[in-house]
């Protein structure tokens, strides 16, 4: 199969012929249909987060089941599926208490460098986040998949696999935004727009989108934002004034120290700041201790605290009802051979999501 191989940080990926195994017990072989280019991939490509190389990156994808290994009961060949990096075991404490997105059982969620499913030039090729979707095929555990209706467009379905479930889930599951409450979303890329959309679906009364790009603020209004604020040094003061003392919930969707601290500062007493963005390893956030006396909170969110086999079919229902906006998220559709150009466009900003389409 053809795959984009990552060699080292800040080097272009190359399109190579790669070998992939047949499915073993509990494994599923998928013919990849579409894969989104996500900022999370970019963090690893730029060395902000480590990953063993060579590797095939990519984690936001959809496809069609080609073959299944022994003991697989959930899917069969021909099923349309969305992948998800939050592979779950179903029996650990996290899974049994409803926190499947942070399952760490290494039998299903293999640590970096442990998956032995691909080879390149006869040598071990590292799988990324148990998926590696920048390739024509993926070999994954069956608990990394959710079946979806075959009438769902595969390029749009891929977006649900990471960006949409992460933004929507952070609002609905992690923060549990209440109807009528106030929300601020800092950063209106793909995840931020999904958070805005999630807040709208949840019934938030006021949804304030914050970004440096006026075009993204205009797009955020289509996703349900009631207000748009151009980010500058006075952003926190503007939010406090607009809301009469701060928002109930804020969401950081970029992954920066400054914006994480900003999200906490714009909270009203009793409010919660949810950090969605991937802050570079070693980043420390500074907060004023006195603010905690008014029960302000700051919390993380992993993949939107999802229960993806429940959430993703519901999101497809929302899309088909016109309540979830996916078409507007796609900035461009590219072949695998243009993956480096797609990431260069992502670095420059001004886009939501480029998607790789596989021509089979």
The three-state DSSP-derived secondary structure of the chain is CEEEEECCCCCCCEEEECEECCCCCCEEEEEEEEEECCHHHHHHHCCCCCCCCCEECCCCEEEEEEEECCCCCCCCCCCEEEECCCCCCCCCHHHHCCCHHHCCCCCCCCCCCCCCCEEECCEEEEECCCCCCCECEEEEEHHHEEECCCCCCHHHHHHHHHHHHHHHHHHHHHCCCCCCCEEEEECCCHHHHHHHHHHHHHCCCEEEEEECCHHHHHHHHHCCCCEEEECCCCHHHHHHHHHCCCEEEEEECCCCHHHHHHHHHCEEEEEEEEECCCCCCCCCCCCCHHHHHHCCEEEECCHHHCCHHHHHHHHHHHHHCCCCCCHHHEEEEECHHHHHHHHHHHHHCCCCEEEEECCC
What is the Cα–Cα distance from 317 to 152, expressed in whole angstroms? Answer: 10
Q: In Å, how far are 5, 48, 83, 132, 203 from 120, measured between CA atoms?
A: 9, 25, 23, 14, 49
Nearest to 205 by CA among 228, 184, 231: 184
With contact defined as beta carbons under 8 Å apart, do 106 and 120 qualify? no
Nearest to 250 by CA among 284, 194, 199: 199
The residues annotated with a catalytic role in the active site are 38, 40, 43, 59, 162
């Amino acid at each position: 199969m053809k795959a984009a191989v990552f060699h080292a940080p800040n080097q272009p990926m190359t399109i190579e012929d790669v070998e992939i195994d047949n499915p073993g017990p509990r494994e599923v072989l998928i013919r990849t249909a579409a894969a989104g280019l996500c900022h999370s991939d970019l963090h690893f490509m730029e060395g902000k987060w480590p990953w063993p190389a060579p590797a095939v990156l990519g984690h936001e994808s959809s496809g069609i089941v080609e073959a299944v290994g022994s003991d697989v009961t959930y899917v069969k060949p021909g099923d349309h599926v969305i992948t998800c990096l939050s592979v779950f075991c179903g029996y650990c404490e996290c899974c049994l208490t409803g926190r499947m997105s942070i399952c760490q059982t290494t039998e299903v969620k293999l640590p970096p460098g442990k998956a032995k499913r691909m080879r390149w030039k006869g040598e071990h090729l590292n799988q990324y986040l148990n998926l590696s979707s920048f390739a024509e095929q993926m070999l994954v555990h069956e608990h990394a998949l959710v079946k979806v209706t075959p009438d769902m467009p595969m390029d749009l379905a891929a977006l649900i696999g990471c960006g949409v479930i992460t933004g929507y889930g952070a609002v609905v599951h992690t923060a549990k935004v209440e109807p009528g409450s106030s929300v601020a979303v800092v950063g209106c890329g793909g995840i931020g727009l999904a958070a805005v959309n999630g807040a709208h679906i949840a019934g938030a009364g006021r949804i304030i989108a914050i970004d440096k790009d006026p075009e993204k603020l205009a797009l955020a209004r289509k996703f349900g934002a009631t207000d748009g604020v151009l980010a500058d040094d006075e952003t926190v003061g503007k939010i406090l004034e607009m809301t009469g003392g701060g928002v109930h919930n804020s969401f950081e969707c970029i992954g920066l120290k400054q914006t994480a601290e900003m999200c906490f500062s714009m909270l009203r007493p009793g409010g919660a700041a949810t950090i969605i963005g991937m802050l570079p390893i070693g980043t420390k956030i500074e907060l004023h201790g006195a603010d905690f006396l008014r029960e302000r909170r700051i919390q993380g969110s992993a993949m939107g605290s999802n229960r993806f086999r429940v959430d993703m079919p519901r999101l497809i229902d929302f899309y088909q009802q016109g309540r979830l906006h996916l078409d507007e998220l796609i900035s461009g559709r590219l072949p695998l051979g243009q993956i480096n150009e797609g990431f260069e466009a992502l670095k420059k900003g001004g886009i939501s999501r480029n998607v790789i389409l596989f021509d089979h």
